[in-house]
Amino acid sequence: MKQTGRCCTSVLRSRLGRHDADELATAFKAVADPGRLRLLSFIAAQPSAEACVCNLVAPLGLSQPTVSHHLKVLTDAGLLARERRGTWMFYRLVPERVEALRQALALPASKTSTRRSA
């Protein structure tokens, strides 16, 4: 999900073209990792939905390079924004981006219940 401002086409409300499918798959790949999901969850749970990178290693039991890699993937996907404050980098959840990804899985109103017979 490059930050083009057009993410995310709904998968289920219209026929997804090849380009949109590529873009959306990249966005879902960003959240398709347990370490990245736990990082997102940890940051979202902070009072201002942001955290210093210095506080992100110990709670998750991941190595510093692994955390750095995951933060880069999430930032590249637009799900986190970062800001330097003095020595440290702070990471903040980007709710609009999360919501856009969530909306990509929105069902059409006519298909919100399961059809079990034809």
Contact call for residues 93 and 43 (beta carbons, < 8 A): yes
Binding site for a second copy (CB under 8 A): 11-16, 18, 21-22, 24-25, 28-29, 31-38, 40-42, 44-45, 48-50, 81, 92-96, 98-99, 101-102, 105-108, 111-115, 118
Taking the alpha carbons of 103, 73, 56, 38 in that order, is the dihedral positive or negative?
A: positive
| Closer Cβ to a second copy, 87 or 112, answer by number | 112
Burial 85-97 (b: 16+ CB within 10 A, else e): eeeebbbbbbeeb
Nearer to a second copy, 4 or 48 (CB): 48
Report, in Å, the least distance between residue 65 CB and a second copy. Answer: 19
Return d(Cα 87, Cα 22) in angstroms, integer.
Answer: 37
Residue 12 C-beta: closest distance to a second copy, Å? 4
CB of 64 to a second copy, least distance (A): 19
Q: Which is nearer to a second copy, 57 or 98 (CB)?
A: 98
Count of H-run helices and E-run strands, the chain? 4, 3
Contacts of 64 (CB under 8 A, 6+ apart): 57
Nearer to a second copy, 84 or 115 (CB): 115
